Amino acid sequence: MGKGTRFEGKVAIVTASTQGIGFAIAQRLGLEGASVVISSRKQQNVDAAAEKLRAKGIEVLAVVCHVSNAQQRKSLIDNTVQKYGKIDIVVSNAAANPSVDTILETKESVLDKLWEINVKASILLLKDASPHLQKGSSVVIISSITGYNPPASLAMYGVTKTALLGLTKALAAEMAPNIRVNCVAPGYVPTNFASFLATNDAMRQELEGKTLLGRLGTTEDMAAATAFLASDDAAYITGETIVVSGGMPSRL
């Protein structure tokens, strides 16, 4: 894809962006001209991802950030502002799914971790970033189709993703009129995070059968929707969630 210019001169932070959907989002924003700030928990992953992006001519700042670590979150924001002087786009993509237990069997420590990483960290990240956002800035939160219909094996994960749908609405009202806040709810996308899709043929076929388009999603599908919402093409859209699931049912 040729380099568009929707994000020329823009600075975008994408959390959990060294692989999978987060990496695809950072790459898409970068190919359209953004300076991208990528982050994840491990230095070597951040360095490797930065190299890949730079090889495509993208301007990158790579920062180690475990989203539930207050100090690292602050340094993600501080490093960005120090280098680029502003923040135009924040994509909150970090998520954990440490358990396949039913909700009532889930250990309290796991409940805490799910809430902490999937919901609370998004709030705290935006709290740190918001003083540096300006008129025309845009926030995109990454939820999941499981937020609409939590499946048994991902039930508590799904419930945390439901919370993000509400958070999107509430923050859109709170940050208006200068800052837009929207959400992407991906369907099933084979990534390391969802490794069961790559390895379990029966499950993959079953999920493909639930889509209208007869295939699972790609990380690029998710990046395209995220880039749209982050861009001025979506200048009159806020508080909305786009479900990117190949027509897999979410709601009426």
DSSP 192: S
Q: What is the DSSP string of 63-119?
A: EE--TT-HHHHHHHHHHHHHHHS---EEEE--------S-GGGS-HHHHHHHHIIII
Distance, in Å, from the CA atom of 24 to the CA atom of 182, rounded to the nearest integer, reads 18
> Distances in Å between the alpha carbon of 122 and those of 16, 25, 196, 224?
12, 17, 26, 21
Catalytic residue among 148, 157, 188, 236: 157
Q: What is the DSSP string of 216-241?
A: ---HHHHHHHHHHHHSGGGTT--S-E
Is-cis flag, bond preceding 177, omega within 30? yes
- In what order do the strands lie in the sheet containing 138-142? 60-64, 35-40, 11-14, 89-92, 138-142, 180-186, 241-244
Non-local (6+) Cβ contacts of 24 within 8 A are 218, 219, 220, 222, 223
Q: What's the number of CA atoms in the CB half-sphere (13 Å) around residue 111?
A: 7
Q: Is 157 an active-site residue?
A: yes
Enzyme catalytic residues: 157
